[in-house]
Amino acid sequence: MITGRRLSSGPDDLWEDQTSMLYEDSPMRPDATLYDTDFYAWVQDQAALLAARRFEELDLPHLVEELQLMGNSERGELCNRLSVLLAHLLKLQVAAERLPYVYDRAQRGWHLTCTEQRLQLRRLLRRNPSLRPTVPDELPDAYAIARLQAALALGVDEASVPLECPWIPEDVLPGGLCL
């Protein structure tokens, strides 16, 4: 049973002495490197300390590292979504120009994937507006990946896929061109 002062309410209630409960039945003690041995418990511990405003007890080096990783994760999602979108835009373009039989068969699915990725990008950028200025920086790397994916999926030589991205960020982002 958890005793002590409730720090938050909801499905993941935090209690003042919850930290000690984490270690009660465990051979691990708080002086062990919890971050390295049980990440989930470390996160819960840090959240409880933050909620209790016990800032001096926080594991600041690891918290800083995790916050930076969270930001990198969002930027990584941006690049991944751009890669998928660009690959499908390339498939539409290359197939329409060189492989009309493939285009006729697959274009509907490729259009739907483009729409889905743009909706996901819109959501990502709405939740993280400061990512929008990074799109021009992410586009070349995303395109390099997309170029390889499109060539492989279409069964064409890489040389038949444009080396440089033919689209500017405004073309690619939600509301952009539709092939």
CA distances for 95 relative to 11, 46, 102, 111, 149, angstroms: 50, 52, 6, 13, 14
CA distances for 84 relative to 6, 80, 87, 155, 158, angstroms: 45, 6, 5, 17, 17
Structure tokens at 134: 């990074």
For residue 136, pLDDT beyond 90: yes
Q: Looking at residue 6, what DSSP letter applies?
A: B
The 10s digit of each residue's pLDDT in 89-133 is 999 999 999 999 999 999 999 999 999 999 999 999 999 999 999
Mean pLDDT for 136-156 is: 97
For residue 60, pLDDT beyond 70: yes
Q: Looking at residue 132, what DSSP letter applies?
A: G
Predicted TM-score (pTM) of the model is 0.70
Structure tokens at 29: 């003690």
Residue 129 CA to residue 5 CA, distance in Å, equals 37
For residue 8, pLDDT beyond 70: no
